[in-house]
Structure 1
Amino acid sequence: MAKISRIISGSPVRPIAVGEPALIHEGNGLRRTTPVLNVRRVSPGEVRFETKNTQYVLKISPANRITKEQIT
């Protein structure tokens, strides 16, 4: 079964950690995912992570850029 791919814009409320749901603040509210299975790529402006059913590309606005240390 193919996973859904989503490109979202926002900022993580807390570090994105394997085994924990990701909490993402988006313009229209808060997104809570199912537990994260892996974080595949991190840059100051983008995080790619995967849950059971979805592959996410999180585009982070310049004001909310994160560092690799904020991803666990």
Structure 2
Amino acid sequence: MAKGKKIKKKNARQHPNQVQLKIVTSHTCQVCKQQCARGLAYLEQMSQPGAIGFGVPCILTKQKP
């Protein structure tokens, strides 16, 4: 029986120390103890009537690689 070729898995991260940031909603930014500039800008944008948001990457809730 012939063996198939081994396929190397591609690493999804470009750099070994690259982190994944969690996407948070405006409610999370509102109750955050250390409010960042990006979160405050998103909170201001979501306070407008009829605003639709998809979340913002939060630097304070980064996941371990």
The TM tier, using the shorter chain, reads: under 0.3
Kindly indicate whether structure 1 or structure 2 has the higher relative contact order, using CA contacts under 8 Å at least 6 residues apart.
2
Higher Cα radius of gyration = 2
Q: Which has more helix, going by share of residues?
A: 2
| TM-score, with length taken from structure 2 | 0.28
| TM-score, with length taken from structure 1 | 0.26
